[in-house]
Structure 1
Amino acid sequence: MVLTAVPPWLPSLATPPGVYTPQADTFFLARALRRERLMPGMDVLDLGTGNGMLAVYAAQHGVHVTATDITWRAVLTARLNALWAGQSLDVRLGDLLSPVRGQKFDLVVSNPPYVPTPDPHRHTPGAEGARVKGGEAWNAGHDGRAVLDRICEEVPQALRRGGVLLMAQSALSGTEATLRRLSAAGMRATVSDRMGTPFGPVLQSRLAWLRGRDLVSPHEELEELVIIRAQQA
């Protein structure tokens, strides 16, 4: 299964240059969000909101949505898109959970940077909207976990009892490592969905390096994306 077109039930929003354009991983995560029971009055957090697509979709169900992003361009884009869609969002500037310290949520959704990069010093510090900073669209450190590990550490403390984390990532950045970290934090963590998608330009450009690290087999043609679903005890 490969998701390339915007599903008709997602809002169609503007994405200016410099803001991450929703694509296969975004739509994949949106499907997982759609399966959750979004009830009016819930508090939802969208980490690295980008153009605000997931946040606006959640707000359409009557939940209270807070969204964060590390770039002003993404924050302003999400605010304008919410206004255009007739939805109310609380969009804040900052890195991951920094703008919401001390708050608790029923659901946290995130599509963070997760692609390993040959240069361990090249990674984007925040989540989805930060992917485009300086053209570093996907980079997440040498093992792809520069942001994933922070989310695994910080999100459990921001969830109410029974709260859920939904997160997209590539198997290249260690699915089992994510599950172990979330389990160690007291969460019930599982892979709720998987899909294969053709290697994009970024992965194509570093296939030799990825194969040299045995992250991609010589005949492998698809990247596996997974949805991590973790629930607070």
Structure 2
Amino acid sequence: MLLLRPPGVYRPQSDTRLLLDAFEAAAIPPGGTVLDVGTGTGAIAIAAARAGARHVTAADVSLRAVIAARLNARLRRARVFVEHGDALDLALGRRFDLILANPPYVPASTARPRGRARAWDAGHNGRAILDRLCALAPDLLAPNGTLLVVHSGLCDADTTLHQLRGGGLKAAIVARQDEPFGPVMNQRVDLLESRGLIPPGRRHEELVVIRADRVTQPR
């Protein structure tokens, strides 16, 4: 899918493709409500709308990303409502049948990223957004709702699974893919090694997609 991407907006990459593949494989029934966390160019939100979602909400902290997502959705005649701000804050008090998330997950030296780095920097261990998402997902999902989130194995997939299951969700890894480090990760090799996130000499990461379901128990 060709998308308009102004400078400073996160470019859809292998993690985006892996999440899209997992979404297609999940065979989510059409007609539901969808939240796209950190929409970027809108690629995930547009795919959900074209798959038959009744209402798609997408959000991003980057104003440039919001503008890009709105334009891309309009060009593809996809009904997507794009909001400017933190998706998890904007979604409080609402429930969704499907949450799709490709959040920032790169370990960083600062807790407050700026500019383009907001699309990938996620605190000391890369879990600044992931931990919030895991904590809020049980309240944001409608009965029988589903969360699909992609992130690097460097952020500890077991922690994600543990947190989601602790919130009463049924969670499992549904996709994996090894990827060589890109420019951002290569620039942080020393940081990753010093924190014990990778062994010396390692230059690849495993991407994972985790699915979590809020299963409604039959009466």
Aligned counterpart, 1:68: 59
Aligned counterpart, 2:190: 208
Structure 1: stretches of 5+ with no match in the other structure: 1-10, 125-132
Task: Mark the CA change 1:54 to 1:134 in structure 2 (over 3 Å): closer, same or farther.
Answer: closer
Cα distance in 1, alignment partners of residues 211 and 110 from structure 2? 28
Equivalent residue for 2:204, pick from 216, 219, 222 = 222
Cα distance in 2, alignment partners of residues 147 and 121 from structure 1? 11
Provide the alpha-carbon RMSD of the alignment: 1.5
Aligned counterpart, 1:5: none
Preserved contact between residue 60 and residue 87 of structure 2 (Cα < 8 Å): yes
How far did residue 36 of structure 1 move? 2.1
TM-score, normalised via structure 2 length: 0.92
Further displaced range: 33-42 or 47-56: 33-42
Question: Where in structure 2 are the equivalents of 1:81-96 lying within 5 Å?
Answer: 81-96=72-87
Residue 128 of structure 2 aligns to a residue in which SS? Answer: coil
Aligned counterpart, 1:163: 145
How far did residue 134 of structure 1 move? 4.6
Residue 79 of structure 1 aligns to a residue in which SS? Answer: helix
How far did residue 155 of structure 1 move? 1.9
Equivalent residue for 1:22, pick from 12, 16, 25 = 12
Residue 68 of structure 2 aligns to a residue in which SS? Answer: helix
Preserved contact between residue 57 and residue 83 of structure 2 (Cα < 8 Å): yes
Q: How many residues align?
A: 214
Task: Mark the CA change 1:175 to 1:123 in structure 2 (over 3 Å): closer, same or farther.
Answer: farther
Aligned counterpart, 1:32: 22
Cα distance in 2, alignment partners of residues 76 and 201 from structure 1? 26
TM-score, normalised via structure 1 length: 0.87
Aligned counterpart, 2:90: 99
Preserved contact between residue 115 and residue 140 of structure 1 (Cα < 8 Å): yes
Runs (4+) of structure 1 moved beyond 6 Å? none
